[in-house]
């Protein structure tokens, strides 16, 4: 094996496993342990931090260093990384721009056959950029993530206000192009869902805290419940059904998270949820077809309320 090829093979092995005995590296590479030691010294000269343990059972470990050295990816890793970077629009405009630069850097050094694979995969995948995507300060996002990982309190200002708040940050959630921070507010005590683009961090991380159980069991369910205005089980607070005078096949593509039950060729029963009963009645009206038998009674009363409001608006 040529020296350059052997160096790449050694680096690939060191990246694949935490600890390697020197004898095992020598056996894998088909060289002597002395040659392995020389190659390790060359890697150190290139900026890789390779730690060595002495003794009969001594070996090598690739640790993180103070600067970013050249990285080695196999073909599948390189293509997967490039596709992931291309799909970064959901993360918001700031991270999207950084990801685009990283992808361009990666693509520039890819061999021709891998560049073709990456371009083909990227071109074949459609990506909808969320309309709600908001710009987030990367420093705020980084500090929030560090506090979540380190289980440290944060002192923040929120929503353009100056009064400080102390929170226990538990999880970051990316939903529809917008970053949210699930946190326990220390005063007044309670769970909060904070938009990261509205957070201003005042100072560094604070005291350590013991994590609490997020309502609903996980952060994603908590975010969904807050978005829907319901309980922590992620369900809509108001759920009802109507008999819609349309074929089930025409309703199903637009039912979203609801259910559609076929009654006959021209009718179906649709069950949907919403944050209020009048809002639920309005959801059924968006199908632009007559409906009957609203259930439960609260939905029927909401239909009467909505009808009165629409009649009043039309009269004016």
pTM of the model: 0.61
For the chain, the distance separating the N- and C-terminal CA atoms, rounded to the nearest angstrom, is 86
Residue that the structure tokens 């999207």 belong to:
96
Q: How far is CA 262 from the centre of its chain?
A: 36
Residues, the chain: 316
Cβ–Cβ under 8 Å, residues 62 and 15: yes
3-state secondary structure of 43: helix
Instruction: Check if the beta carbon of residue 54 is closer than 8 Å to that of residue 61.
Output: no
Cα separation, 6 vs 10, whole angstroms: 6
Tokens of 219: 């952060």
The 8-class DSSP code of residue 19 comes to -
Per-residue pLDDT of the chain (316 residues; tens, 9 = 90+): 677 778 888 888 887 777 889 899 999 999 998 999 999 998 888 878 888 877 666 789 888 765 566 667 777 888 888 878 877 766 666 677 778 788 887 887 788 888 888 888 777 766 666 666 677 888 898 899 999 999 999 999 998 888 999 999 999 998 877 889 999 999 888 999 999 999 999 987 789 999 999 987 888 888 888 887 766 666 788 999 999 999 999 999 999 889 999 999 999 999 999 989 999 999 999 999 999 999 999 999 999 999 999 999 999 8
Closest-CA residue to 148 (of 99, 214, 88, 84): 214
Cα(124)–Cα(240) distance, integer angstroms: 40
Helices (H) and strands (E) in the chain, counts: 11, 12
Rounded distance between C-alpha atoms, residue 247 and residue 254, angstroms = 12
Supply the angle between the helices 33-45 and 22-29 in degrees, to the nearest 10. 100
């Amino acid at each position: 094996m040529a020296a350059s090829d052997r160096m790449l093979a050694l680096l690939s092995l060191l990246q694949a496993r935490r600890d390697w005995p020197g004898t095992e590296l020598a056996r894998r590479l088909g060289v002597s342990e002395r040659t392995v030691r020389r190659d390790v010294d060359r890697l150190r000269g290139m900026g890789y931090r390779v730690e060595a343990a002495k003794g009969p059972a001594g070996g090598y470990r690739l640790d993180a260093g103070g600067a970013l050295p050249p990285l080695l990816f196999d073909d599948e890793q390189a293509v997967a990384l490039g596709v992931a970077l291309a799909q970064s629009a959901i993360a918001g405009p700031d991270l999207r721009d950084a990801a685009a630069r990283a992808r361009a850097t990666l693509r520039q050094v890819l061999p021709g056959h891998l560049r073709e694979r990456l371009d083909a995969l990227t071109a074949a995948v459609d990506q909808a950029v969320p309309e709600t995507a908001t710009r987030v300060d990367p420093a705020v996002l980084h500090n929030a993530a560090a506090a979540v990982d380190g289980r440290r309190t944060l002192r923040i200002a929120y929503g353009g206000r100056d009064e400080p708040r102390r929170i226990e940050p538990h999880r970051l959630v990316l939903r529809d192009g917008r970053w949210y921070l699930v946190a326990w507010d220390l005063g007044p005590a309670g769970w909060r869902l904070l938009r990261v683009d509205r957070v201003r961090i005042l100072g560094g991380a604070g005291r350590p805290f013991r994590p609490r159980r997020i309502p609903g069991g996980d952060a994603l369910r908590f975010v969904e419940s807050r978005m829907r205005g319901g309980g922590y089980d992620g369900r809509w607070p108001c759920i009802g059904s109507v008999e819609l005078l349309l074929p089930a096949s025409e309703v199903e593509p637009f039912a979203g998270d609801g259910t559609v039950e076929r009654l006959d060729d021209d009718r179906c029963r649709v069950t949907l949820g919403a944050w209020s009963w009048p809002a639920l009645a309005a959801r059924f009206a968006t199908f632009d077809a007559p409906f009957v038998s609203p259930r439960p009674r609260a939905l029927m009363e909401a239909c009467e309320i909505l009808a009165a409001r629409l009649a009043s608006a039309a009269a004016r």
